[in-house]
Structure 1
C-alpha cells in the first residue's frame, strides 16, 4: 500500500522462491525453504538526477518563496523515495516555513513523527492537514494509525472505521480497521472482517485479508504473488505488503520470533514509500519493548521471591 525485467530475472526470482534445499541427499531432517524474494529496490538514475537538479536550482537567489517551497517539497519527496528520511524531513520543514498552507507536507511530517514516536506532534500535523484539506483520506488513515501506535485504541478505531466506510471496497482500509479493533474486541473484529471478505473476489489486497483470517495458506498467498507479475518493482511492493501483514498476524498470535523475522523481510526490499515498510520498524520496536518489560517484570518477581 503506497504511502501517498526481464524473463531471465523473473525466472531467477521464481528459483529463489523455490523450493527445498537439504545439506545432503541422505539427510533425513525436514528441508528448509528460501522465502520468496525480490531484488531490493535501488535509487535509479532519474531519481538521482532529479535530486541533483533540484539542489542546483535551489541555489538560485531569484526564486520566490512559493517556488522555493514547492521545489523543497519536490526534493523532499525525492529524498524520501530513496530512503533519505532525515534530509526529506528537513526539506519538508523548510518548505512549510516558506508556505504553511500545504496539507500534503503536514501529512508527510505526521508520518515521520509517528515513526519517531512523537505522537502529539503527529496528531497536530494530521489535524493541520485536515484543517487545510478536510477530504484528505491519507491523513485520516495515517491519523488512525498514529492513534493506534499511540495507545489510543478507541479513538484509533473511530477514525479507522470512518475511513473504511468512505470506501468499503478497499482491502487495506479493512485490514487496518481489523488490526485496530483486535485491541478492543478480537471476536467481533474477526467476524466483521470475515463478512467483509465474503463480498470480494481474489483481488490482491483481499488475498491479504484472506491470509490474515487463515482462509488461505501462506503457500497460496506467495504463489499468488509469484505468478501475478514478472516485474521486480511490483514483486518487491507486494512482498513488502505480504510480509508485513503476515508478521502482524504472527505478532497478534504471540509468535514474536516469526513476526520479527517477517518485519525484517518487509524492510529488506527498500520500498520506502510504503507504510508497510515504515511501520515494520515501529512493530519491531514495540515487540522488543514488550519483551524487555516482561523480562524486567519476571526478574523483579524472581528477586522478590528469593528474599
Structure 2
C-alpha cells in the first residue's frame, strides 16, 4: 500500500550550518585563495520563460486534474532547479494531491525529506516511488543514500550494491557504494572493493577521475587542475567542482578533519548546481557536522 498520505502530511525543516574553515593540509599546493571556483550558476532566460508559460496555462479554466498535476510537477522542477526548494515542495505536494500515482514526485519529496533528516518520511517516499515504478533508478539510489544518512548502513549497502549491479560502469554508483562500505568495513576493505570495481569497469566517463583520487592514483592538486583544464565552459566547471569538492570533503571527513570538510562542503554548494546530488547532500552534511559541535546543555 502506498505511503503517500504520510509523505504529504510530513513537513520539512532545513538548517544551513556554518563551521569555521582553514586552509588545506600542507600536502596540497593549493591555498583557499587559489582553489578553483566557477561563477555561480544563475536562472536562465529559458527557465524564467517556462515559469511564465506554465503560469499562463494554469490560469486557463477547466484544466483536467491530470494535466494540472503535471503542471504543478513541472513548475516544482523549475523551482528546484533555481534553488527555490520550499516553493518546489509546495508544488510537488499539490501535484501529488491531484494524482497520487507519480513515481517522480515521490522521489523528489524523498530527496527533500533526506536533506531535512526526516528519514522515515524519506523511506516512505522512495518506497512509494519504487512501488509505482520498480525500475526507477533515481529512487533506488536515493533510497540507498537516505539509509546511509539515516544510519542503517547494512541496508544502505545492500540497496546501493544492488543499484550498482544494474550499471557497473557508473562511477557515482561505485562512489556511493564505497562510502557505505567505508562506514561498515573501514578504509582498507572498502578501497580494495572500489579498486576491483574500477578495474572491471569502462572508466571513460569523467566521474571515474574521482575514483582515481580515492584510490591514490592522482593527487589532489592534479585532480583539481584536470577539472580546470578540461571543463569546456562555466556550466561544466561548476558541475564538476560541485562533485569534486563534495567527495574531497568526504575524504577529509573520513580523515577526521571536519574543519576542512565543512569548508569543502560549502565550496560544493558555491556554484549553485542545485539539481546535483552532491549539492543537495552537502547541505545535509553541514547540518550533521554542526550538530556534532552543538554545546552540551547541562541541567
Same fold (TM over 0.5): yes
Identify the residue that residue 19 of structure 2 maps to in structure 1.
none
Mark the runs of 5 or more structure 1 residues left unpaired by the alignment.
1-29, 301-307
**1:28-107, aligned counterparts within 5 Å?**
32=31, 33-107=33-107
Instruction: Please report how far the alpha carbon of residue 219 of structure 1 lies from its aligned counterpart in structure 2 after TM superposition.
Output: 1.1
Identify the residue that residue 278 of structure 1 maps to in structure 2.
280
Instruction: Please report how far the alpha carbon of residue 170 of structure 1 lies from its aligned counterpart in structure 2 after TM superposition.
Output: 0.6
Mark the runs of 5 or more structure 2 residues left unpaired by the alignment.
1-28
Identify the residue that residue 16 of structure 2 maps to in structure 1.
none
Instruction: Please report how far the alpha carbon of residue 31 of structure 1 lies from its aligned counterpart in structure 2 after TM superposition.
Output: 8.7
Taking the aligned partners of 1:168 and 1:136, their CA distance within structure 2 comes to: 16
The answer (yes or no) to whether the contact 2:103–2:129 under 8 Å persists in 1 is yes
Taking the aligned partners of 1:115 and 1:55, their CA distance within structure 2 comes to: 28
The answer (yes or no) to whether the contact 2:101–2:132 under 8 Å persists in 1 is yes
Measured at CA, do residues 202 and 135 of structure 1 come closer, stay the same or move farther in structure 2, by a change above 3 Å? closer
Identify the residue that residue 134 of structure 1 maps to in structure 2.
134
Instruction: Please report how far the alpha carbon of residue 213 of structure 1 lies from its aligned counterpart in structure 2 after TM superposition.
Output: 2.7
**Which has more helix, going by share of residues?**
1
Taking the aligned partners of 1:227 and 1:31, their CA distance within structure 2 comes to: 16
Q: Which moved further from structure 2: 210-219 or 77-86?
A: 210-219
Partner of 2:97: helix, strand, or coil? helix
Instruction: Please report how far the alpha carbon of residue 245 of structure 1 lies from its aligned counterpart in structure 2 after TM superposition.
Output: 0.3
Taking the aligned partners of 2:106 and 2:58, their CA distance within structure 1 comes to: 21
Identify the residue that residue 197 of structure 1 maps to in structure 2.
198
Higher RCO (C-alpha 8 Å, min separation 6): 2
**1:17-32, aligned counterparts within 5 Å?**
32=31
Partner of 2:68: helix, strand, or coil? helix
Taking the aligned partners of 1:203 and 1:102, their CA distance within structure 2 comes to: 31
Larger Rg belongs to? 1
Taking the aligned partners of 2:181 and 2:231, their CA distance within structure 1 comes to: 33
The answer (yes or no) to whether the contact 2:242–2:268 under 8 Å persists in 1 is yes
Instruction: Please report how far the alpha carbon of residue 197 of structure 1 lies from its aligned counterpart in structure 2 after TM superposition.
Output: 2.1
Q: TM-score, normalised by structure 2?
A: 0.86
Q: TM-score, normalised by structure 1?
A: 0.84
Tell me how many residue pairs correspond in the alignment.
268
Partner of 1:270: helix, strand, or coil? coil
The answer (yes or no) to whether the contact 2:111–2:142 under 8 Å persists in 1 is yes
CA displacement, residues 187-219 of structure 1 (integer Å, 9 cap, x when unaligned): 321110122222454531111011123221111
Partner of 2:39: helix, strand, or coil? coil
Partner of 1:182: helix, strand, or coil? helix
Identify the residue that residue 303 of structure 1 maps to in structure 2.
none
Task: Quote the RMSD (CA, aligned, Å).
Answer: 1.8
Taking the aligned partners of 2:30 and 2:179, their CA distance within structure 1 comes to: 33
CA displacement, residues 46-71 of structure 1 (integer Å, 9 cap, x when unaligned): 11111122122212221000110111
Q: Which moved further from structure 2: 243-252 or 47-56?
A: 47-56
